[in-house]
């Protein structure tokens, strides 16, 4: 497993070097020294990642995208546009509704890769030959990843029979509908607040385990967000989990909550649930 990890980092470093658009002296490959230490405080790229896909009961398919910020201290705000966009060779996919992140937090210390930050659902006719490609440019690097629906990348969703994992059930009100899985649940009404005024975001979580992990992230929006508690272990099936968020600038934001029984399970690509809170911030 350690050898495989080194190979992956070597490939990532090679990709970043080849994709750099900065003017630099060209050194013959035979004279270059490669290092697996590609994670740094700043100066590295955000890598868009294709996490896999899963079929839906109505014949559609859902493709998952995550990302890997290779910086431990540098975050990014990359608005939708030339530096952050999706494209597809299948004309019947409406990409305008995709919930693409525009804020990318530094590398988490434990689980590293941000798994399935957003999804895109494609029609039944979307075949193994079609692609949805996510492009991100950051720190001089222009990178992309193709989303596809080929058999080796099928995800267990929302549970894994082999490992016995089950995605937590999430509700955004005590009596509202619940959702399990990566496609997630969205707040139905805009949440209103003002700059520098903390707002409470709540979710009700059900799961057979006595404890689950809950994490809160700035998904999109123009300014900064401060959370009073970004990550925690939570006892489900009881009271709601709550975070207080404070916003630095006016605008429309999305806060992403993810929950899973244990962050170690992320590495098995099953099973977590996303929740998205849509917030309007005024002066």
Q: Beta strands 185-186 and 272-282: pairing type?
A: parallel
Final residue belonging to a domain, choices 153, 171, 201: 153
Query: What's the pLDDT score for residue 164?
Result: 87
pLDDT at position 21: 41
Structure tokens at 39: 């994670």
3-state SS class at 266:
helix
- How far is the C-alpha of 111 from the C-alpha of 117, rounded, in Å? 14
What is the domain range of residue 79?
A: 2-153
CATH of the domain at 11: 2.60.40
Strand order in 178-179's β-sheet?
178-179, 169-171, 199-206, 241-247, 225-227
Do 8 and 143 share a structural domain?
yes
Q: Do 181 and 231 sit in the same domain of this protein?
A: yes
Q: 136 and 16 share a domain?
A: yes
Domain of residue 249, CATH code: 2.60.40.10
Global pTM reads 0.87
Side-chain half-sphere CA neighbours of 47 within 13 A: 24
Regarding beta strands 212-220 and 61-69, do their DSSP bridges make them parallel or antiparallel, or are they unpaired?
unpaired
Residue 35 CA to residue 32 CA, distance in Å, equals: 10
Element (H, E) at 14: helix 2-19
Residues of the chain with pLDDT under 70: 1-36
- State residue 221's pLDDT score: 98
**Among residues 240, 149, 158, which one has the least CA distance to residue 200?**
240
Helix (H, G, I), strand (E, B) or coil at 97: helix
Which pLDDT score, from 0 to 100, does residue 31 have? 59
Domain boundary at 118, 153, 188, which?
153
Same domain, 36 and 122: yes
**Domain match, 118 and 178 both:** no
Q: Assess whether 69 and 146 both reside in one domain.
A: yes
The predicted-structure confidence for 93-130, as pLDDT tens digits, reads as follows 999 999 999 999 999 988 889 999 999 999 999 999 99
Sign of dihedral through CA atoms 218, 75, 71, 153?
A: positive
Q: How many domains does the chain have?
A: 2
Q: Report CA dihedral (210, 216, 219, 221) to the nearest 10 degrees.
A: 150
Place of tokens 């004309």: 91
Residues 142 and 165 in one domain: no
Q: Are residues 99 and 180 in the same domain?
A: no
149, 233: one domain: no
Shared domain for 168 and 260, answered yes or no, is yes
Last residue of a domain, one of 134, 153, 172: 153
- Whether 58 and 132 map to the same domain: the answer is yes
Note whether 192 and 249 are same-domain residues.
Answer: yes
């Amino acid at each position: 497993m350690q050898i495989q990890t080194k190979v992956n980092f070597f490939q990532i470093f090679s990709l970043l070097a080849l994709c750099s658009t900065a003017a630099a002296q060209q050194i013959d490959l035979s004279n270059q020294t490669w290092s697996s230490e590609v994670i740094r405080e700043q100066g590295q790229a955000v890598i868009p990642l294709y996490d896999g896909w899963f079929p839906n009961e109505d014949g559609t398919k859902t493709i998952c995208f995550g990302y890997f910020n290779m910086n431990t201290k540098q975050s990014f705000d990359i608005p939708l546009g030339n530096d952050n966009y999706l494209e597809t060779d299948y004309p019947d996919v409406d990409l305008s509704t995709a919930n693409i992140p525009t804020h990318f937090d530094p590398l988490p210390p434990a689980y590293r890769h941000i798994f399935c930050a957003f999804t895109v659902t494609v029609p039944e006719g979307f075949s193994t030959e079609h692609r949805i490609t996510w492009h991100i440019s950051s720190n001089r690097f222009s990178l992309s990843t193709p989303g596809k629906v080929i058999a080796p990348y099928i995800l267990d969703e929302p549970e894994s029979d082999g490992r016995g994992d089950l995605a937590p059930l999430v509700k955004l009100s005590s009596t509202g509908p619940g959702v399990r899985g990566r496609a997630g649940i969205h707040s139905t009404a805009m949440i209103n607040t003002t700059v520098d005024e903390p707002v409470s975001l709540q979710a009700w979580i059900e799961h057979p385990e006595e404890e689950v992990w809950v994490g809160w992230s700035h998904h999109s929006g123009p300014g900064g967000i401060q959370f009073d508690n970004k990550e925690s272990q939570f006892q489900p099936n009881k009271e709601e989990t709550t975070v207080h968020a404070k916003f630095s600038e006016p605008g429309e934001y999305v806060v992403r909550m993810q929950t899973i029984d244990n962050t170690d399970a992320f590495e098995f690509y099953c099973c977590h649930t996303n929740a998205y809170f849509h917030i309007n911030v005024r002066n």
